[in-house]
A and B are shown apart, each in its own frame.
Chain A
Amino acid sequence: MDKDRIVAWFCTYTPLEMLDAAGLIPSRHFGDPQILESADALLHPAICPYARACLAHELKADGPHHALFINSCDAMRRLYDTWKDAFSGDFIYLMDLPRNQDGGGERMLAEEMKHLAAALRERWGVTITSRELLRACVRREESRLAYLDSTRGAGGGERLRSAMRLHTGLEAGDDSDGERTRGGTAGTPILLTGNLLNPEGLVTWLERAGARVVWTDLCNGDRAFCSSTMAEGEDMDELLASLSAAYLERHPCARMSDSSRRYDLLVETTRRVGARGIVYASLKFCDSYLYDYPLVEDRLKEEGIPVLRLESDYTDGHVGQLMTRIEAFLEMI
Chain B
Amino acid sequence: MAGGNGGKGDRERDNSLLNDIRKRFIDRLSPSTLRSRIFWEATERLSRSRWNRPDWEADRISLSHFLKSTRDAYFKRAPVVWSNLLVPSEIIHGTECIPFYPEMASAVVAAAGLAPRFIDRAAEAGFSPDACSFHRCMLGCAVDGFLPEPDYLLTTNYPCDSAPLSFSYISRLYGIPHDIVDIPLPGREASLDLLAEQLRDVARYLAGLSGLKATRARERMEEAFEFSNQALGYLREIEEMRKRSDCMLDGKDAMGNISVLSACMGSKAGLEFYSKLAGEMRERGSEGDNSLRIMWMHLKPWYSQRIFEILDNYNVRVVCEEYTHATWEHLDPVRPFHSLAEKVGGHFLVGPVERRASHLVKLAEDYRIEGAIHYNHWGCRQSCGGALQVKKALGARNIPTLLMDGDCVDEREYQEGQIGTRLEAFLESLS
- A residues contacting B by CB (< 8 A) are 41-44, 46-48, 71, 73-75, 77-78, 80-82, 84-85, 94, 96, 98-100, 104-105, 107-108, 111-112, 115, 254-255, 257, 259, 284-285, 287-288, 290-295, 297-298
Contact = CB atoms under 8 A, between A and B. Distances in A.
Contact of A96 (B126, B169, B185, B197): B185
A75 B385 contact: yes
Contacts of A99: 157, 164, 180, 182
B212 interface: no
Contacts of A43: 385, 388
B420 interface: no
B381 A74 contact: yes
B167 to A, nearest CB: 9
Contact of A287 (B165, B190, B353): B165
B381 A291 contact: no
B267 interface: no
Given A108-B182, A293-B126, A78 B386 contact: yes
Contacts of B386: 78, 81
B88 interface: no
A288 B190 CA distance: 28
A112 B164 CA distance: 21
B172 interface: yes
Contacts of A75: 381, 385
Given A291-B131, A293-B126, A297-B126, A74 B184 contact: no
Contact of B169 (A78, A287, A294): A294
In the A-B complex, the 4 residue pairs with the smallest Cβ-Cβ separation, listed nearest first, are A78-B385, A74-B381, A294-B126, A291-B165
Contacts of A285: 130, 381
B361 to A, nearest CB: 15
Contacts of B180: 99-100, 257
6 contacts: A46-B378, A99-B164, A108-B184, A111-B184, A254-B165, A257-B168
Give the interface residue-count category, chain B.
35 or more
B354 interface: yes
Interface string B110-136: 000000000000000111101110010
Given A80-B352, A85-B389, A108-B184, A46 B381 contact: yes
B228 interface: no
Interface in B151-194: 157, 160-162, 164-166, 168-169, 172, 180, 182, 184-185, 188, 190-191, 194
A289 to B, nearest CB: 9
Contacts of A107: 194
Report whether over half of chain A's contact residues are helix, strand or loop; otherwise say mixed. helix
Given A78-B353, A99-B164, A290 B131 contact: yes
Given A46-B379, A81-B352, A295-B168, A74 B194 contact: no
A297 B135 CA distance: 19
A44 B385 contact: yes
A267 B126 CA distance: 20
Nearest to A115: B188
B382 interface: yes
A47 B169 contact: no
Nearest to A287: B161
A111 B353 CA distance: 22
A70 to B, nearest CB: 11
A294 B182 CA distance: 24
Given A42-B388, A105-B182, A111-B188, 9 more contacts: A41-B388, A74-B382, A75-B385, A78-B381, A84-B354, A96-B184, A111-B194, A285-B130, A290-B130
Contacts of A288: 161, 165
A78 B160 CA distance: 11
Interface string B59-77: 0000000000000000000
Nearest to A311: B128
A284 B131 CA distance: 10
Contacts of A73: 161, 381
Contacts of B389: 81-82, 85
Contacts of B127: 290-291, 293-294
Nearest to B135: A291
Pick the most buried of B161, B184, B376, B379: most chain A CB atoms within 10 A of its CB: B161
Pick the most buried of A48, A107, A291: most chain B CB atoms within 10 A of its CB: A291
Nearest to B124: A294
Interface in B182-226: 182, 184-185, 188, 190-191, 194, 197-198
Contacts of B86: none
